[in-house]
Amino acid sequence: MNIIDVVNWRYSTKEFDPSKKISADDFSKVKTLLRMSPSSTNIQPWHFVVADSEEGKKRIAKGTQGFYQFNEQKVMDASHVVVFCARTSADEDYMLHLLETEDKHGRYPNEDIKQMVFGARNIFANMHKYDYKDQQHWMEKQVYMNMGNLLLGVAALGIDALPMEGIDMKQIDEELALREKGFTAVGVVSLGYRKESDFNTPNTTPKSRLPEEEIITLLK
């Protein structure tokens, strides 16, 4: 696999084939991609709710009513639907839990380094909480980074995807009781395999991006 072929092959799927399911082996790779994504200071401020049954997808499709109805079929016909959630806080319990998890995994050769990392992560989190007052957006940015990682990763597995912001996130939060659990939905990604009739594929419609000279400046 050539990663440049992969990024060019990746298209936002407009029509999923409801008869095609992601294999258990591939789904386990999807979970690994979600889990292993980088995040600032390894804060991992995320949770993922996945539906692969009719019942589960129907619950997520409650966020695609009214104005967002254009996304209903894209949820219902997908093989697996992933709700990307952000944490709504990074409190001390969570920060300690992260640290202890890393310690258990063998990240820290000694207590000094462990405490240094704990301090540094808190400095960044607190900078966004108290100075910039954008901690929620900061955490959600990490979730978007994860989404970028996932979209490229699943394409390398030959899985089609559609990332959607066109979702009633509040409805999803309520349906899945996310806020009570300390999370809030920030986006939904449908995964599966495109229909032959999908117009938005590498073989039917060219991808469009701004030209390199407009978006990249090489410093002298």
Residues 6+ apart with CB under 8 A from 213: none
- DSSP H helices, 62-186, are 72-76, 92-104, 111-126, 135-156, 169-175
Q: Token pair of 204, please?
A: 């039917």
Which DSSP category does 37 fall into? -
Helix (H, G, I), strand (E, B) or coil at 28: helix
Residues 6+ apart with CB under 8 A from 202: 8, 9, 11
The verdict on 56 binding a copy of itself (CB under 8 A) reads yes
**Which one among 17, 163, 180, 202 touches a copy of itself, defined by CB under 8 A?**
163
Q: Is 196 an active-site residue?
A: no
Residues 6+ apart with CB under 8 A from 52: 21, 22, 27, 79, 80, 81
Nearest to a copy of itself of 67, 196 (CB atom): 67
Beta bridge partners of 84: 48, 187
Looking at residues 172 to 191 of the shown chain, list those that interact with a copy of itself (rule: CB under 8 A): 176
The verdict on 133 binding a copy of itself (CB under 8 A) reads no
The verdict on 40 binding a copy of itself (CB under 8 A) reads yes
Q: Choose one: 16-24, 71-79, 190-198, 212-220; the region binding a copy of itself (CB under 8 A).
A: 212-220
The verdict on 21 binding a copy of itself (CB under 8 A) reads no
Distance CA 25, CA 81 (A): 16
Binding string, residues 1-20; x marks residues near a copy of itself by CB under 8 A: x-xx-xxx-x-x--------
Of 15, 57, 74, 195, catalytic: 74
Helix (H, G, I), strand (E, B) or coil at 74: helix
Q: Least distance (Å) from a copy of itself to the CB of residue 20?
A: 19
Q: Choose one: 14-22, 71-79, 146-154, 190-198; the region binding a copy of itself (CB under 8 A).
A: 146-154
Q: Is 165 an active-site residue?
A: yes
Q: Is 141 an active-site residue?
A: no
Q: Choose one: 15-23, 71-79, 190-198, 200-208; the region binding a copy of itself (CB under 8 A).
A: 200-208
Nearest to a copy of itself of 6, 21 (CB atom): 6
| Half-sphere exposure at residue 150, Cβ-oriented, CA atoms within 13 angstroms | 29
Positions annotated as catalytic residues are 14, 74, 165
